[in-house]
């Protein structure tokens, strides 16, 4: 599976489940580092971004005779482990101590990503979920010189990518027997 279909699968499966969760009311799901400059979101947001593609094992190769085209279709199928990182930005209000933090939101989202609903939907699309990591909660100094939590977690998916090329059929073969 290529990157865009995998991104769309995440949006299509996780987005509605986040919207249905009362604790995540109003929290957007956005792919981070969009190719077009759109500016920062203004409300609570969960971001996701692909971080690695790791080939797993060696390629599977197969040749299939394509009858209408009279040629071989040569397929090379590679299994990948693709890692995504999820992070959150939730404006905090010190006057509202009951408001969920970024870490709270990510713990809910990581739980959704391990739910049977998500696992079955991803499996039906040919994508496996290997693991969802712990929610990390480091701090950094923001643009107002205040400490701000920057929590995140990673998720590792398995899927395959297939590359198909064509090989023309052998039309003639010249055999020679030579003395050695």
**Residues 6+ away with beta carbon under 8 Å from 91:** 43, 44
- For residue 6, the number of C-alpha atoms closer than 13 Å in the C-beta half-sphere is 24
What is the C-alpha separation between 149 and 100, in angstroms, rounded?
A: 13
What is the C-alpha separation between 85 and 47, in angstroms, rounded?
A: 8
In 3D space, the residue among 19, 23, 26, 22 whose CA is nearest the CA of residue 44 turns out to be 26
**Residue 44 DSSP SS3:** coil
pTM of the predicted protein model:
0.84
* Domains of the chain and CATH, by start: 3-168 (3.30.2000)
Cα end-to-end distance, the chain, whole Å: 51
113 contacts 125 by C-beta, under 8 angstroms: no
Phi–psi pair at 42, nearest 5 degrees: -100, -20
Instruction: Going residue by residue through the chain, which has 180 residues, state the pLDDT in tens, using 9 for 90 and above.
Output: 899 999 999 999 999 999 999 999 999 999 987 766 666 677 899 999 999 999 999 999 999 888 888 888 999 999 999 999 999 988 777 788 888 999 999 999 999 999 999 999 999 999 999 999 999 999 888 777 888 889 999 999 999 999 999 887 777 778 888 887
The pLDDT tens digits of the residues spanning 73-124 come to 999 999 999 999 999 988 777 788 888 999 999 999 999 999 999 999 999 9
**Residue 94 DSSP SS3:** coil
Helices (H) and strands (E) in the chain, counts: 3, 7
């Amino acid at each position: 599976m290529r990157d865009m279909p995998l991104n769309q699968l995440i949006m299509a499966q996780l987005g509605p489940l986040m919207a249905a969760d009362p604790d995540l009311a109003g929290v957007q799901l956005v792919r981070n580092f969009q190719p077009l400059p759109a500016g920062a979101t203004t409300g609570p947001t969960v971001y996701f971004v692909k971080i690695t593609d790791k080939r797993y094992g060696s390629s599977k190769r197969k040749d299939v005779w394509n009858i209408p085209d009279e040629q071989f279709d040569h397929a090379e199928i590679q299994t990948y482990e693709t890692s995504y990182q999820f992070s959150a930005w939730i404006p905090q209000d010190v006057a509202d101590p009951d408001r969920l933090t970024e870490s709270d939101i990510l713990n809910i989202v990581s739980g959704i990503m391990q739910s049977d609903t998500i696992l079955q939907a991803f499996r039906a699309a040919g994508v496996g979920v290997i693991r969802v990591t712990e929610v990390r909660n480091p701090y950094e100094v923001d643009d107002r010189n205040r400490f701000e939590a920057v929590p995140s977690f990673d998720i590792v998916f398995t899927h395959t990518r297939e590359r198909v090329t064509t090989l023309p059929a052998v039309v003639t073969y010249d055999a020679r027997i030579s003395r050695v």
